[in-house]
């Protein structure tokens, strides 16, 4: 539930300058300085040694070589060259981007009317409860949320049974499972709460009087929405895009369980590389995801700066 | 003018009606899979899906008698407790300097601390796998899984505690200091009681996240199983009613824990109002 728009600690940190550190006069400046930062100690070990160092290691690995199952510290771009020389891998990379874009777009298209309804038409006192209801599935097991679709999709799944029962189909259709549409459907399901929450957070702050004023001045609702509402909630939309797109890029489980052979994404390639002990090639593939994330953040940097979800 | 408003309001009513239907469909979309999963777990049908051939609780009985599941449950809880301990301590400790000290590179540090939530778990998993197996030459075990999960859960605790610390009146602490309380006493009688609700909520978050964590654990658990990993290996062979029952239990556990995370801090806060009096 800790979303960019509402992450409390991030906002918390911003006015820290107003809080004077407690230090007894007379104690050495160094000691008090050190005491001030001591709390970071354990976090430094945890995030430094077990988060930043491993990520750096992956970067190195992607430029090293594997010879006879041993990693040799010999700098090369062979791993990347290899990745792009295999048509299946390149196709998977593009498929991943395509699936991520489609799923993100669909999530936002589904979430926007919902957030709009919640922020504009629901009485204030019910908004919080209805919002918690949306987030609730998000707090249950990620694995189970993917798994639950296996009971719905597929030739034996609830959907097929239902269609059969209504007479829409005469025999089971396999369209629903083990293909890309199923992957997109489940991804939308998984990340809908992210989008709904972020969009609601920015719509909630919008002053609807501006909307009414625009219409009084002759704007159609469409124009008012396009020219008054959208520019103001654009940072919220950007945040939603980023926070839906990034985890989808690294998805492994969804394509693995409901995607079948045609729904493979780059996450599955990475896992295959690592399970096959091809660490350097796997690292290169993992770095491709990281590169895509960096590109995405760079593209959206400007609109992020406007809202500044980190409260800097 | 009056006619304009009429059009607007009639159109408004229509929009409102359409959007309400949309929202209803969204709720159905969000809850149908979960509800169906629970329904199937009580279904007598051996295939774990429609048609419903009768109601039974025997799948739950089988869950409790399966030794593999019992093993996985023990491992899961052990890992979750350790993760909770690590992330509560590390997160709480880091919240203090994050909120209070004059930090250089504050925004950089802040982003670095929240990054583990943002980036795909897959990247955390594989990078730690490389670190443990190729650099430290460690055998993968529940302990390596605990470290991996803690990287992911600690930021949540940190954010919750930092938020509480932010809303906390520092003059209270200075008053205690003026009255002669040393650092330990200030922590024991002033700071920790005020932070307790947030720390508790953070601990419950961490526990729940650990219970349900899948992708990082998959890489780091080695030959052991946690419940999500066990379910995953079973699901590869198809849907079974036992897995549905286990899934329903795990769902119920997460939901109860999350409800606790929302309700308990309030109760603790009320209970702790007594503390300063005792301390005095």
Q: Which domains does chain A have, with CATH numbers?
A: 8-17+80-307 (1.10.3720.10)
CA distance to partner chain A, nearest, from residue B275 (Å):
22
Angle in degrees, CA B58, B61, B62, rounded to 5: 95
Write down the pLDDT at residue A270: 94
> In terms of C-beta density within 10 A (0-12 exposed, 13-18 middle, 19 or more buried), how is residue A176 classed?
buried
Q: Which residue, among A158, A134, A244, has the nearest Cα to B25 in the 3D structure?
A: A134
Which pLDDT score, from 0 to 100, does residue A174 have? 61
Taking only the tens place, the pLDDT of each residue in B101-125 is 777 777 777 777 788 888 899 999 9
Kindly list the residues from chain B whose CB atom is less than 8 angstroms away from the CB atom of residue A46.
86, 90, 147, 150-151, 154
Cβ contact, residue pair B49, A157, below 8 Å: yes
Lowest-confidence pick of A78-82, A258-262, B83-87, B199-203: A258-262
The confidence score (pLDDT) of residue B189 equals 80
Q: How confident is the model at residue B186 (pLDDT cuts 50, 70, 90)?
A: confident
pLDDT of residue A139: 83
Do the Cβ atoms of A294 and A55 come closer than 8 Å? no
Q: Which residues of chain A have pLDDT under 50?
A: 1-21, 23-26, 305-312
Query: How many Å is the Cα radius of gyration of chain B?
Result: 24
pLDDT of residue B274: 55
Q: In chain B, whose CA is at the least distance from the CA of A150?
A: B239
What sign does the dihedral A185-A187-A189-A194 (CA atoms) show? negative
- What pLDDT does A172 receive? 65
CA distance A74 to A76: 6
Q: Which of residues 110-139 of A touch B (CB under 8 A)?
A: 110, 113-114, 116-118, 121, 130, 133-134, 136-137, 139
* Host H or E run for residue B141: none
Chain B nearest C-alpha distance from A3 (Å): 10
The predicted pLDDT at position B6 comes to: 45
Å from A269 to nearest chain B CA?
A: 11
Domain boundaries B62-279, corresponding CATH code: 1.10.3720.10
Q: Say yes or no for a CB contact (<8 Å) between A140 and B255.
A: yes
* pLDDT tens digits for range A85-96: 999 999 999 999
Q: Min CA distance, A311 vs chain B (Å)?
A: 9
CB nearest to B111's CB, from A12, A252, A310: A310
């Amino acid at each position: 539930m800790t979303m960019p728009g509402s992450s409390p600690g991030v906002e918390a940190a911003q006015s820290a300058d107003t809080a004077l550190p407690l230090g007894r006069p007379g104690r050495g400046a160094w000691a008090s300085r050190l005491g001030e930062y001591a709390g970071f100690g354990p976090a430094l070990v945890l995030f430094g040694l077990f988060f930043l160092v491993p990520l750096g290691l992956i970067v190195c690995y992607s430029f090293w070589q594997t010879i006879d199952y041993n990693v040799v510290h010999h700098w090369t771009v062979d791993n990347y060259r290899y990745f792009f020389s295999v048509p299946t891998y390149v196709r998977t990379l593009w498929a991943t981007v395509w699936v991520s874009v489609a799923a993100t777009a669909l999530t936002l298209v589904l979430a926007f009317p919902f957030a709009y309804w919640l922020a504009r038409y629901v009485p204030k006192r019910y908004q919080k409860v209805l919002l918690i209801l949306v987030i609730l599935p998000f707090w249950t097991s990620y694995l189970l949320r993917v798994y639950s679709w296996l009971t719905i999709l597929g030739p034996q799944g609830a959907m097929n049974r239902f269609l059969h029962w209504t007479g829409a189909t005469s025999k089971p259709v396999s369209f629903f499972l083990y293909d890309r549409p199923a992957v997109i459907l489940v991804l939308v399901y998984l990340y809908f709460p992210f989008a709904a929450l972020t969009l609601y957070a920015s719509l909630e702050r919008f002053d609807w009087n501006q909307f009414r004023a625009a219409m009084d001045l002759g704007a159609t609702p469409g124009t008012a929405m396009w020219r008054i509402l959208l520019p103001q909630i654009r940072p919220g939309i950007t945040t939603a895009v980023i926070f839906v797109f990034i985890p989808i890029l690294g998805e492994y489980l969804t394509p693995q369980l409901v995607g079948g052979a045609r729904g493979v994404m780059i996450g599955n390639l990475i896992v295959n590389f690592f399970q096959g002990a091809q660490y350097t090639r796997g690292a290169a593939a993992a770095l491709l995801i990281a590169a895509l994330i960096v590109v995405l953040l760079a593209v959206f940097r400007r609109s992020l700066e406007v809202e500044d979800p980190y409260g800097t | 003018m009056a006619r304009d408003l009429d059009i607007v309001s009639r159109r408004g009513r229509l929009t409102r009606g359409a959007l309400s239907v949309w929202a209803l469909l969204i709720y159905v979309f969000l809850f149908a899979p979960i509800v169906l999963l629970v329904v199937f777990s009580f279904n007598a049908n051996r295939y774990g899906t429609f048609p419903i051939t009768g109601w039974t609780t025997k799948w739950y009985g089988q869950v409790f008698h399966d030794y593999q599941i019992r093993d996985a449950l023990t491992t899961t809880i052990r890992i979750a407790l350790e993760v909770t301990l690590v992330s509560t301590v590390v997160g709480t400790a880091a919240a203090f300097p994050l909120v209070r000290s004059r930090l250089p590179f504050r925004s950089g540090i802040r982003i670095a601390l929240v990054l583990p939530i943002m980036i795909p778990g897959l990247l955390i998993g594989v990078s730690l796998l490389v670190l443990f197996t190729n650099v430290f030459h460690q055998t993968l075990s529940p302990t390596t899984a605990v470290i991996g999960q803690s990287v992911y859960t600690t930021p949540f605790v940190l954010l919750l505690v930092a938020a509480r610390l932010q809303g906390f009146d520092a003059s209270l602490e200075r008053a205690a200091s003026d009255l002669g309380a040393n650092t330990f006493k200030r922590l024991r009688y002033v700071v920790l009681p005020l932070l307790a609700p947030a720390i508790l909520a953070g601990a419950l978050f961490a526990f729940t996240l650990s219970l349900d964590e899948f992708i990082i654990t998959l890489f780091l658990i080695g030959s052991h199983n946690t419940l999500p990993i066990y379910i995953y290996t079973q699901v590869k062979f198809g849907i079974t009613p036992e897995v549905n029952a286990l899934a329903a239990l795990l769902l119920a556990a997460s939901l109860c824990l999350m409800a606790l995370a929302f309700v308990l801090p309030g109760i603790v806060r009320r209970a702790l109002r007594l503390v300063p009096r005792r301390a005095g």
